[in-house]
Structure formats: C-alpha cells, structure tokens
Amino acid sequence: MSDLEKPIKISPEALKEKYRIERDKRLRPDGPSQYIDPNEVFRDFDADPYVEPGFTRSAIVEETEVVVVGGGFGGLLTGARLRQQGVEDFRIIDRAGDFGGTWYWNRYPGAACDIESYIYLPLLEETGYIPTEKYAKAAEIFAYCQQLGRHFDLYDRALFQTQVSEVRWDEARGRWLVRTNHDDMLAARFLVIAGGIMHKAKLPGIPGIETFKGHSFHTSRWDYSYTGGSPTEPMDRLKDKRVGIIGTGATAVQAVPNLARDAEHLYVFQRTPSGVGERNNRPTDPEWVKSLQPGWQQRRVENFEALVSGQTVDEDLINDGWTQISGGVNFEGGGEGDDQYEMADFARMEMIRARIDAIVEDPATAEALKPWYNTMCKRPCFHDEYLQSFNRPNVTLVDTDGKGVERITAHSVVVDGIEYPVDCLIYASGFEVSTGYTRRLGFELYGRDGQALTEAWKEGAGTLHGMYAKGFPNLVMSSLIQGGTGANVVPILNEVAVQTAYTIKRAIELEARTFEPTDQAQENWLAVLFTHLTGSAKFSTECTPGFYNNEGSIGDPKMARNAPYAGGTLSYFEELKKWRENDELEGLEISK
Ligand code: NDP
C-alpha cells in the first residue's frame, strides 16, 4: 500500500497546535515592511529587457474620450468591451513594449497558467481560439494577449514603453490630464486604471543583500543572457554554475524543476513550503472541442467559481486540484471556520503531506517540505516535477525553519551560520500586494481640488464596487482594493471591464459631464464588504503569514477598509450585474 492510500488518521487538536507553532515561528514584527524595492539593489530594475534600449518618440498632445492605463488582461478587456459598446476613441498606455501585463514580464522557465486555460484565457468564443493544453504555458498566453490586441484592433490605440507620470483632474475642462515620461499630455474625459494586481516586484530585506557580487535577478526579470536557453530550451550556461533560489511560492514551484535540470548545483532556500498537489496537464482533446456548445466558456467559468466557493453543484466541468480542494471554503477571502470545513481541510493537507513522503526519497528533506497550515493560507500549487527535483543529487533544499535567510555575503547565502557559496542568486520573492495603491501604480492621481488619492485614502479606501471613488470624477479602477478577488483573476477583470464600458457608454448617452459615487454609496459598499469580512478575519488570523493575510499584520483598520470583497466571485458578479440591470447608475452622482 502506498503512503497515499493509507487511511488518514487525524488528531485535530494536535494539528491545530502544530499549525499554531509553525505560524508563530514565522510572525515578524516588521510584517510587510520586511520587503524592499528591487531598485534599492538593482540598477535599472525598471528597464525593460525585452526592447531595444533608448526608445524615443515625439510627445503626443491630444484630446481623447478614454485613457486606459495598463495593457495586461485588464486593459485588453477594457479595450475590447469599449469597442463592443461602440466607444472607439481611446488610448491604452503601458510601460511594457507590448500587451500582456504579467505575461509580458514573467518569462521564467516553467512559467505556465496555474488555472485551467479554458477558463483563464478570456473571450475564447469571441476569438475562436482554443488553448493547446489544459494548463497553457506562458509563451502561449502572451501570444494570446497579442491575438486579443489584433482581434479587437487595439494596437493602433496603444502607447507602449510609456510610463504615466501623473494624472490630474482639470475641473475647468472636465478632463483628466494624463502626463507621461515622453512628455505626452492626453486630455481624457474618462480615465480607466487597469494597472495590475501583482505587478510590482519585491525583494526580501535580507541583511547584506546589496553586497552580493555574483549574478542575481528577480524571477519577473529572468536573465536568459546569463542563464542561456529560453522558456522552452535548456539553460545551457548554468551547467557549471551553483545557483541559489530564494522563495518557494507558486513561481518557484514552476521554475525549480528547470533549474534543477540545468544547474550544476541548485540550492533552494525555503522559509515556508508550498502545498503542492498533482497537476495532470494534458493536450486539448479535439473531440472535446467539437462537443462545445455556444456559451460554454462562461458556463465553465461559473462552474469553477461555484465549486471553489463551496457551493453544491451537479457537475464538475474542470475536475482538477482547484475544484477538488474542498467545500465550504471561501477562496482568497478565507474559510467559513466551521468544524466540517476544518476537518476536510486537515484531511486534504494530510494528503498533500503524504504525497511528499511518497515522492521525496530523503526522509529529512521530505519532512522539511511539508506545509503545516490550512490550504487557503497560501496559493495552492500543482506540479508533477517540483517535489521530484529534490531527489536529484545536484539539488539541496536549505530549509530555514521559518526564519528565512539569515544573511547574504559577496558570494554566498547564509542560513543558520552555514555559508552556501553561489554564482547566481534568483529571487522568487513575489510582488507587493498591500502597499499603497499609487505606490504600486507608480504615479499619483490628483482629483477634485487637487486632492491626491493617497491623501484621500490615508485612513483606508472609499469606493463603490472597488471601482469608483468620490472626489475622482469619471474614474474607473480595477484593483483588489474593495473589488473582486478569487483564484482565477481574469474573469473578474472581464466582469469589471464589462461594467467599465457600460458605465462610460451610459455617461456618454446621458451627456454627463461627470459621474462619481456619493458618500452614502461608498458607506453602503463598505457595509457590504464588512459583512463578508467577519468570517475571513478569524481564518486569516490563524494562517501562517503571507500576502493573503498581509504577512500576519491583520486587524489594522486601514487594511480592513482596503481588503477585497470577500463574499465570493459569483456574488461580486451578481452585485455588478444587478447594478447594471437597474440601469440608473445607482450611487453615482451625475453632473451635466
Ligand atoms: P510569493 O509571494 O508567493 O512567494 C515569495 C516566496 O519568497 C515565499 O516562499 C516566501 O516565504 C519567500 N521569502 C520571502 N522572504 C524570504 C526570506 N527572507 N528568506 C527566504 N524566503 C523568503 O511569490 P510568487 O512569485 O511565488 O507568487 C506570487 C503570486 O503570483 C502567486 O500567489 C500567484 O497569485 C501568482 N502566480 C501565478 C501563477 C500562474 O500560473 N497563474 C504562477 C506563479 C505565480 P514565506 O512563504 O515564508 O513568506
């Protein structure tokens, strides 16, 4: 009998105690401020490695109906939905050299969609595209972003390699004035910020990080000129290199097997292990494609959302590690906290731990790779080669027992007083999530009377639907702050894009000079948010630290106001749909 088939014996009290001990080891007084900006360590971190340096163009000065900031899935979908509403006069600005957002920047080896591509890639029925695999790889997703750009004729509207430097509401003109690093001055009636969710990279503030003399980079700026190879070819220049990777989150889980294959030696520096289930990727079955009926994608998206939020549904169309996780849990918003849910999750995590024993040959390594927390405390991972990598003689897991790397010196990484010399150090240390909105965007928004958004939100955000903000007329935002969240982010960006395009079209029809939410509408939305937050707060408190619970620094009233809508993705969609069906722009004050 394999370890996976043995009956699972659980002592809930013992597990709870173990989870608590492991969490307490990791709680740090500096919480989210333990991380630093990569610009403090790397010169030119913000430079784009995928374009020729030195791009210049003449400044653009123009009036336009809509400016959309961001050319990732959020911006692409906004462009597509605006066109569908007959709004043709818009610009999309992105600092990258092409569309794609996260898929433009993240080209690390092994990068792939960790959600089924049939529900992750948007508008498949509109474009007629079918992903080649159940979990498409990064290059295919990036190419699909470009296809969306062509299909909806968005390239003509795009200003790439362009960084917005400031946006300011001009009351006299009733326009947003958008300035950029190319001295552009776009005067837009409506402004849409689709600036990304997890796009600003962060580094661990490990003492000595700036003294490292070997080669180093963040996973979102993979340096193939150093490693050799490409996302699809082996990294041939690593064969005589000792490589270290810091971090074992969703990114590292995908990158490690490739580094293990190619490096002379790989050291994986771990603070908290990820829970890694089976992937079972497979090519798309052409017979299945033939069987698809119109409306299939939305049905599939909704089926996924219902399953992951614990609803009882007749069938599981996706049938993967995500949809099998468990009932009763509220994804990325926290669990219900009832015993039944807790027991189901203990059992699931026992299986995840048993899988490690079944795969990893060295018992001490297997033990160190075991995650001791509830499934949804961190993003669940799925991979069929990650754990196997630790059986290779050229791979060493350096577990820090929850403490993190102690120090970095000119040529090594130090853990528990032991130096591990490395030629190359890769930071798989993630992205900012809970830092200030405008800090992450990289520019300030000045609304009515010149008030900065940072100032207006200094005690926490105020919005309707996470999309409209008082004092910032004709602005629509797409972010996690008071907005939708879930394991599969793209359908949320899509729903928000539908809502954005609808709002703009209605404002045009009404010949509105401005729209913005009333105080009352913002208070009502906050009340809705808080209703859902109560359940997830207890769940989060008990979790091991990570970006889901603001590194364990929860309970801060400002953070509570900035939290996403925790009532589940389908329920968030319902809120937006109801609002559109009502067709009165309820809660928005219109001036003519
Ligand atoms: P994460 O923030 O999830 O992981 C950062 C890692 O760095 C953690 O393992 C963290 O440990 C570790 N770390 C931080 N500080 C130290 C330290 N001082 N010493 C040692 N280790 C340290 O970032 P990822 O880039 O992995 O993932 C971010 C998100 O990106 C995912 O949650 C997911 O939403 C998305 N993603 C999506 C993919 C997709 O296919 N769609 C693929 C990859 C990522 P600790 O856990 O202890 O904090």
Cβ atoms of 260 and 266 within 8 Å: the answer is: yes
Residue 142's Cα: distance from chain center in Å?
A: 16
**CA–centroid distance, residue 546 to ligand 1 (Å):** 8
**Domains along the sequence of the chain with CATH:** 11-36+203-279+338-427 (3.50.50.60), 61-200+433-519+566-586 (3.50.50.60)
Mean pLDDT, the chain, whole residue set: 94
Element spanning 262, H or E: helix 250-262
Q: Reply yes or no on whether the pLDDT at 554 is more than 60.
A: yes
| Predicted TM-score of the model (pTM) | 0.95
202 Cα–ligand 1 center, Å: 10
Average pLDDT over residues 59-79: 98
For 143-157, write each residue's pLDDT tens digit: 999 999 999 999 999
Q: What is the distance in A from the centroid of ligand 1 to the CA of 246?
A: 9
In this structure, are residues 268 and 397 in contact, taking their beta carbons and an 8 Å threshold?
A: yes
Digit-coded pLDDT (tens) for 381-404: 999 999 999 999 999 999 999 999
Give the whole-angstrom CA distance, residue 276 versus residue 248. Answer: 11
Quote the CA–CA distance of 427 and 101 in Å, as a whole number.
20
pLDDT tens digits along 81-119: 999 999 999 999 999 999 999 999 999 999 999 999 999
State if residue 379 touches ligand 1 by the CB under 6 angstroms criterion. Answer: yes
At 241, list the tokens. Answer: 């290199």
Please indicate whether residue 73, judged by its CB atom, sits closer than 6 Å to ligand 1. no
Q: How far is CA 315 from CA 293, 299, 410, in A?
A: 16, 11, 56
- The tokens 């993705």 sit on which residue? 569
Task: Single out the residue of 163, 169, 189, 154 nearest to residue 78, CA to CA.
Answer: 154
For residues 222 and 215, give the distance between their C-alpha atoms in angstroms, rounded to a whole number: 11
Tell me if residue 12 falls in helix, strand or coil. Answer: helix
Q: Contact at 8 Å (CB) between 411 and 213?
A: yes
CA distance 188 to 179: 11
* pLDDT higher than threshold 60 for residue 332: no
User: Closest ligand 1 atom, CA of 379?
Assistant: 32
Q: The tokens of 59 are what?
A: 């400044």
Inter-axis angle of helices 519-542 and 12-26, nearest 10: 110
Angstrom distance (rounded) from CA 451 to CA 192: 18
Selected residue with higher pLDDT from 511 and 548: 511
CB of residue 247 inside a 6 A radius of ligand 1: yes
- What is the distance between the alpha carbons of residues 355 and 276, in angstroms, rounded to a whole number? 9
Is residue 48 lining ligand 1, measured as CB closer than 6 Å?
A: no
Using a pLDDT cut of 70, give the percent of the chain over it: 96
- The stretches of 369-451 forming alpha helices (DSSP H) are 386-389, 437-441
What distance in Å separates the CA atoms of residue 293 and residue 296, rounded to the nearest whole number? 6
Do the beta carbons of residue 564 and residue 482 sit within 8 Å?
yes
CA distance 500 to 400: 46
With a cut of 60, say whether residue 1 has pLDDT above it: no
Contact 79, 152 (CB under 8 A): yes
Ligand 1 atom 23, closest CA? 430
Q: Is the pLDDT of residue 334 over 80?
A: no
Measured at the CA of 47, the angle between CA 112 and CA 240, to 5 degrees, comes to: 60
Least reliable range by pLDDT among 33-47, 179-193, 488-502: 33-47
Q: Which residues contact 398 (CB under 8 A, 6 or more apart)?
A: 267, 268, 269, 270, 413, 415, 420
Q: Greater confidence, 536 or 32?
A: 32
Q: With beta carbons less than 8 A apart as the criterion, state whether 281 and 133 touch.
A: yes
For ligand 1, whether the C-beta of 220 sits within 6 Å is: no
Ligand 1 atom nearest 545 alpha carbon = 48
Residues 296, 442: Cα–Cα separation, whole Å: 38
Calpha distance 271→402 (Å, rounded) = 5
**Distance between Cα 547 and ligand 1 center (Å):** 8
Ligand 1 binding pocket mutation candidate from 251, 383, 485 (most atoms within 8 A of CB):
251
Q: The dihedral of CA 533, 534, 539, 544: what is its sign?
A: positive
Distance 453 CA to ligand 1 centre (A): 29
pLDDT in tens, 428-485: 999 999 899 999 999 999 999 999 999 999 999 999 999 999 999 999 999 999 999 9
Q: 253 alpha carbon to ligand 1 midpoint, in Å?
A: 9
Q: What gap in Å lies between CA 49 and CA 406, rounded to an integer?
A: 31
User: Which of 24, 27, 369, 429 has the most ligand 1 atoms within 8 A of CB, as the residue to mutate?
Assistant: 429
Type of residue at 557: P
What would the pLDDT profile of 185-213 be if each residue is shown by its tens digit?
Answer: 999 999 999 999 899 999 999 999 999 99
Neighbouring residues of 30: CB distance < 8 A, sequence distance ≥ 6: 205
Indicate the SS3 state at residue 384: coil
Q: What is the pLDDT of residue 179?
A: 98
Q: Residue 423 in 3-state DSSP?
A: coil
Q: How far is CA 380 from the centre of its chain?
A: 13
Confidence at 6, pLDDT banded by 50, 70, 90:
low
In DSSP terms, which residues pair with 588 in a beta bridge? 517
